[in-house]
Structure 1
Amino acid sequence: MRAVIVSKAGAGSRLVLAERPAPEADANEALVRVRAISLNNGEVRGALNGAADGDRPGWDLAGVIEAAPEDSVFRAGDRVVGLVWSGAWAERVAVPLDRLAKIPDEVSFAAAATLPVAGLTAAIALRKKPIGPGSRVLVTAATGGVGVYAIQLAAATGAHVTAFTRDVSQTDFLRGLGASAVAVGVEAAQAAEPFDLILEGVAGALLGEALMWLAPRGVCVLFGDASEDKLTTFDASRFRLGSGGAFGGTVLYGFFLIEELTRSDRLASASDLLADLAGRLASGSLRPVIGWTGPWHDVDTTAKALLRREFVGKAVLLLDDQS
């Protein structure tokens, strides 16, 4: 079968298609013929900036079951979405049953492929602080895969959602996702504080600012570091006490999806969350934002465009001209 691998032939790293042995599914896995994949910033950065020659990247996939354990809920021919920690960008993938969910016929493979990392991250991160009508939520990295879903899911709870951007041209787009307000730049976000929950995907200097915008007992969930800025400084007194004094209870939570899905205290399995997200896509209460679509043999070009932030939302690549 064909799979995407890291190639270090020549200058730098590239992503190319190569022949690899087809996988064999274990007792707790199903074999999926892949129809669509999506790319995430973290896996692309890792693949192009440090992975070994021959490594097989890829987390998100959607496709059709070819074989599954008889005692599972899956059968050959089922349309599914799944998550693996490496090797999703291939014609066939063995996917753990607890990270696999059926998708309704109304949901395209391309749309479903956007769900695993971005959708699960948004859904789980939003549970780190109970929110609902009256809650104030801030989402940074708002035009990225996680941000797009986080805005919609937070808005669905009735919370007041502020989307952070540095690009004023994205204002209408972000409001269209359900953002109650759009903060263009740090000063605008500061003027809108305090926030009960912040989903922060930029890190660096912005994280330092965001920590000082929390309401009493507010939680800042750091789910990414898109800025690649390694240094964060903040006013410890304002984080602990708030600008109005005597706040306290504020939390910075480091979010890593792999760790989250191994937690014994998780409220729902990855399969259940994926099924819920797919159902929302089918009902129209959640919509994917796909900024780049193409054939999977263009994976290297697409990955580099993603790192250059040439588009909004997710990049999806199709296998065998499926959609």
Structure 2
Amino acid sequence: MKALVNTPAGLAVHTVADPFPAPDQALIAVRSFSLNRGELDLLAARTEDWRPGQDIAGVMVEPAADGSGPAAGARVVALAEDSGWAELAAVSTARLAELPDSVDVEQAAALPLAGRAALNTLRIGGNLLGKRVLVTGATGGVGQLQVQLAVLAGAEVTAVGRDEAADLLLKRGARSVVPAVTEAEGLFDLITESVGGETLEAAVTRVAPGGTVVVFGASSRRKAAVNLYDFIGHEGARLVSYLSYADPTPVSADLRTLVDLVATGSLQPPVGFQADWNQVHNALEGLRNRTFHGKAVLTIP
């Protein structure tokens, strides 16, 4: 089969051996996959025949030998451990979900990692009905999903994003859009923070007493200076980290939740770039330079 392999010479399509599934793994013919920002760093660091790829969607070729999961021919979305940017992928049935008929594989491929991060960062904030939520980095894949899911949960959402994305974020359900945390009015019960540096420092000044700031990214690459005295006026507020690799929630259940919401029209997958997989370098460059909002989704003919 063909697969994208990262070598010292760069990322390119190579011919590799077909995967050999473990008893609890299904063999999936990948029809679409998406790129995550964290993979930019991994591609720079892992150059010895590394096989990238986690977010995939496609068709079941062989069901798991242990009898778990969907039957052959079912369309599925999956969160692979790695090696997903390929014509075939072996994935545990605990990490996939069958797609409703109305959900395209291209839509589904944008959901796994970003969708789980959005769901579970919001869950840290508890019941959001009637609460005020502030989403930083709202134009990205996770951010767009956080805005929509928080609105669905009954929250009043303020999104932090660039001016040119204001219309998009308002369509996603945000009550208001601001260019910086410092321009958000009032205090918030939950703040999801993915930028770091001065943005995280500002988030502490906007969290309500007893509220929560969930830190799940540091796209600015800058460290924040926060100390005890910053919490005066924000007593009882907490800073909580979210790391996707340590998320204990069942993957398949989260994927089913996400695709069911897409099927009902309640959730719009954040696809900002879509092309054939031979355009992977253009997709990576656009992701690196933030030339589109949301996820890059590539298809395998």
Which TM-score applies when normalising by structure 1?
A: 0.89
Q: CA deviation at 1:194?
A: 1.1
- Secondary structure of the 1:179 match is coil
Q: Which residue of 2 aligns with 1:61?
A: 56
What is the CA deviation profile of residues 281-323 of structure 1, one whole-angstrom value per residue up to 9, with x for unaligned ones?
1110001121111111221221121011010111000000xxx
Partner of 2:16: 20
Aligned length: 300
- Say which is worse superposed, 199-208 or 120-129, in terms of deviation: 199-208
Comparing 81-90 and 145-154, the one that deviates more? 81-90
CA distance in 1, matches of 2:158, 2:276: 35
Cα offset for 1:212?
Answer: 2.2
1:271 to 237, 242, 252: 252
Could you list the runs of 5+ residues in structure 1 that have no partner in the other structure? none
Distance 1:28 1:172 in 2: 44
Match of 1:224 in 2: 217
Question: In the alignment, is residue 319 of structure 1 matched against residue 300 of structure 2?
Answer: yes
User: CA separation in 2, counterparts of 1:86 and 1:193?
Assistant: 42
Q: Which residue of 2 aligns with 1:256?
A: 243
Return the alpha-carbon distance in structure 1 between the equivalents of residues 14 and 186 of structure 2: 50
Residue in structure 2 matching 1:236, options 228, 231, 238: 228
1:249-288 CA-partner distances (Å, limit 9, x unpaired): 221111111101xx3xx4xx21011011101111100011
Among 192, 197, 207, the alignment partner of 1:199 is: 192
Unaligned runs of 5+ in 2: none
Letter in 2 for 1:3: A
- In the alignment, is residue 308 of structure 1 matched against residue 301 of structure 2? no
- Secondary structure of 1:307's partner? helix
Report the identity percentage: 38
Name the CA distance, whole Å, in 2 between partners of 1:28 and 1:219: 38
Displacement, 1:132?
Answer: 2.8
Runs of 4 or more, structure 1, over 6 Å off, are none
Instruction: Specify the SS of the correspondent of 1:46.
Output: helix
Map Cα deviations across residues 48-80 of structure 1 (whole Å, 9 max, x no partner).
x21122111111000001111352131000100
- How high is the TM-score relative to the length of structure 2? 0.96
Partners of 2:28 and 2:89 within 8 A in 1: yes
* Offset of residue 224 of structure 1: 1.4
Superposition pairs of residues 1-323 of structure 1, within 5 angstroms: 1-9=1-9, 14-47=10-43, 49-69=44-64, 71-165=67-161, 167-189=162-184, 192-229=185-222, 231-239=223-231, 241-242=232-233, 247-260=234-247, 263=248, 266=249, 269-320=250-301
Q: CA deviation at 1:235?
A: 4.9
The SS at the match of 1:299 is: helix
Output the CA distance in 1 between the equivalents of 2:227 and 2:178.
Answer: 21
CA deviation digits over 1:137-179, x for unaligned, max 9?
01111000000100000000111101012x2222121111000
* Counterpart amino acid of residue 72 in structure 2: A
Q: Is the 8 A contact 1:203 1:226 kept in 2?
A: yes
